[in-house]
Amino acid sequence: MKKIMSGNEAIARGAYEAGCTVAAAYPGTPSTEILENVANYKEINSEWSPNEKVALEVGCGAAIGGARTLVAMKHVGLNVAADPFFTIAYEGVNGGLVVISADEPGMHSSQNEQDNRLYAPHAKVCMIEPSDSMECLDYIKESFKISEEFDVPVMFRVTTRICHSKGLVTLSDREEVGVKKYEKNVQKYAMMPAHARARHVVLEENLDRLRAYSNKCSLNRMEMNDTKIGIITSGVSYQHAKEVFGEEASYLKLGLTFPMPDKLIKEFADKVDEIYVIEENEPYIENFVKAMGIKCTGKEVLSVCGELNPHILRKAFKKEDEGAGYDVDVSLPKRPPMLCAGCPHRGIFYAMSKYKDLVVSGDIGCYTLGLIPPLNVTDTVICMGAGFSAAIGLKKAFQMGNVDKKVFGVVGDSTFFHSGITGLIDAVYNKTPITLVILDNSITAMTGHQENPGTGKTLMGEITEVIDIEAVVKACGIKEENVVVVDPYDLEKTREGVEKAYNATEPFVLITKRPCALIKEVRKERAHLNCEVVQEKCKKCRMCLKIGCPAITLKDGDILIDKAMCNGCELCKQVCKFDSIVKVGE
C-alpha cells in the first residue's frame, strides 16, 4: 500500500512497523507531529513528558528494559536532554533506542540555529539522516536494528524540510518483535566511575565496528554519473543538489553520518575530478573530508547561516542567478507576530506594561510575544525555564550593583512543568525577592495545543490527574499570602495582582488562569460573542489600540473591531473610558 506522508508521519509509521512499543517526547517545532502520529498506533505506549530530559530518561529506562523505544525532540531540546544522552551511549541498549533530533536551519520558530550533527561524535552515538519521507520510514526501521546490533543509541537527525514535506511512502505490516528479556547487569547499566571507565572502552569498540559497517551499509551509497564533479551530501541537501546538478555530477549520498564512512569517501574521491560538499549550517561533512587530506569546496561558497535551496546552490556553484523564485502579482499583507485576538495573556501584559521600570525575563512560548509593541513587556528571552532562572540572575546583579529594580519572570503552564519549577525552588531557597508569573492557559499552545501535566489528559487521550500549579507553588515554599491567582480577562483584578506583586519584598507568584482562546471548546463557547464600537460615543483617544489586539483597527479615522476575529474578551471595553465599546452576542 502506498500513501503520501510527511516526514514526521513516516517516522511514526516506521516506528510502528519496526515493532516500537514505547515513545516519549516534549513538543517542539518541527518535531511535534511525530508523537502526535505515534499516538495513533495503540501498540505503542506514547506520552508527552514534562521536558526532553525526562522523555529521554523514560526512553533509556524502556530500552534497558527491552522495549524498542523512540524519543523525539527539537534541536534545542537535545540540550535539555544532553545529560542522559551522553551517558546512555556508555550504557548501550537492550531494546533499540532511537532519539529524534529535529533541527531547524533558518530558525523559523527557534531561538538558535545549532547543528545537532555535532552532537553525534561528541556523545559517541550513531547518527542517521534521511532525505525524504520514504527514507524516514525505512531508516527508522534500520535504526532500531543498528541500535540493537551495535549496542548504541541512534540519533535520527532530520530538519524542517524533511519533517514537513510530503512524499510517497510504501507501507508494510508491523514486525512484532516483542520486548526483550531484561537481565540485571550493573556493570553495564549503573554508571559509577569504575563501570563507566570500562564501558567507555566497550563503546569505542562498538563504534569501530559501526565505522566498518558505515563503509559498506546501504544507507551510504554512490550514484555515479558524470565524474567531473562529485558531490558529498546528506539529508535535504541531497534533494537540492540533485535538482541543480542532475546527472552532471556524481553523488556520495550519506545516510549514516556518524561514524563517517572514511573508506567510502576516499573511494568516491578517487573516482571524480572535483569534490563539492553540500550541507546546511556547519561544515560537518566538509571538515571530515578535509581532515582526510581530500580537497573539496563547501563553505567557501555556501553560508553556515540559514537553509539551502536550489537557487542558492546554482548561484554558489554555477554562478547562475535566476532571481529569487516565482514572481507573483499579489503582495501578501505584512503580518508582524502578535498575540492572537482574545489571547488571555494580553491582560497581564497590559497591566505589567504600566510599570515602566519593571524588568521582565521572558520565556519560550506565546508569551514571548509580550515583547512586541505596543505591549513592550519583556527584556530577555533565552530558553525554556530561563524565564524564572534568568530573572533570579537579573535580580542578583541589581542587588550587587545597588540597583533598585523590580524583576518579574514569566513562563507558561507547560514551561512551568518543563523546567520552571526548578527556578521557582531556587528563588524560594535563595530568598530572591522576584515575582514569578505563571500564565496558565491550560494547554501547550504555541506548538499546537498539546496536553501537559496541568490539562488532565494524556497524549493517548486518557483522563488523568490535573497537577495543580497553585498547590505546587505553595509546596515549593511560596507563602500563602504571596500567591495570587487572577483571571486575566478581569483587568481590574489583574491590575491589583500586578500591583501587589510589584510591591512584594519576598518571592511572589502571580498565576493567571484562562484557557487559550484557540482551544476548540473555547472557540465554540465564545463563537457568538464579540465587542463593537459605538461610533457616536468614541472620542478617538486610541486607548483601545494600546492593548495590541489584532481585531482592533484604525481605518479612515474610526476605530473598528473585526467581528470575525473578536471573541468578546472585553479587554478593549475595560480600557475605554467613554463606554464607547460594548459587548454583544450574550
**538 assigned ligand-binding residue:** yes
Rounded Cα gap, residues 113 and 104, in angstroms: 6
Q: State whether the Cα torsion 468-469-475-481 is positive or negative.
A: negative
Residue whose C-alpha cell reads 526548578 in the numeric block: 422
- Does 305 carry a binding-site annotation? no
Name residue 33's beta-bridge partners.
none
Tell me if 366 is assigned to a ligand binding site: no
Cβ neighbours for 153, distance < 8 A, ≥ 6 positions apart:
63, 85, 88, 89, 92, 93, 97, 98, 99, 125, 126, 147
- Cα separation, 94 vs 67, in Å, equals 7
CA–CA distance, 160 with 74 (Å, rounded to integer): 10
The whole-angstrom separation of Cα 226 and Cα 247 is 6
Opening angle at CA 11, ends 113 and 90, nearest 5: 70
Residue with cell 530577555: 380
Q: Is 340 annotated as a binding residue?
A: no
Compute the 3-state secondary structure of the chain and give helix, strand, coil in percent, each to the nearest 5.
40, 20, 40
Question: Over 195-244, what HEC string results?
Answer: HHHHHHHHHHHHHHHHHHHHCCCCCCEEECCCCCEEEEEEHHHHHHHHHH
- Identity (one letter) of the amino acid at 571? L
Provide the Cα torsion 238, 243, 245, 248; round to 10°: 100
544 annotated to a ligand binding site: yes
Q: Hey, what's the cell of 224?
A: 555515479
> Is 20 annotated as belonging to a binding site?
no
Which cell is 54 given?
525526562
Strands 407-412 and 435-440, how do they pair?
parallel
- Residue 38's alpha-carbon distances to 45, 178, 294, 446, 455, in angstroms, are 9, 17, 42, 20, 20
Q: Which residues pair with 124 in a beta bridge?
A: none
Q: Name the E strands within 243-358.
A: 250-254, 256-258, 274-278
Other beta carbons less than 10 A from residue 155's beta carbon = 26
Q: How far apart are CA 499 and CA 509, in angstroms?
A: 12
Long-range contacts for 210-214 (Cβ within 8 Å, ≥24 apart)?
Answer: 210/126, 210/146, 210/150, 210/152, 210/259, 211/259, 211/260, 211/261, 211/262, 213/146, 213/150, 213/256, 214/256, 214/259, 214/260, 214/261, 214/264
Q: Known binding site for [4Fe-4S] cluster: residues?
A: 538, 541, 544, 549, 566, 569, 572, 576
Q: Known binding site: residues?
A: 538, 541, 544, 549, 566, 569, 572, 576
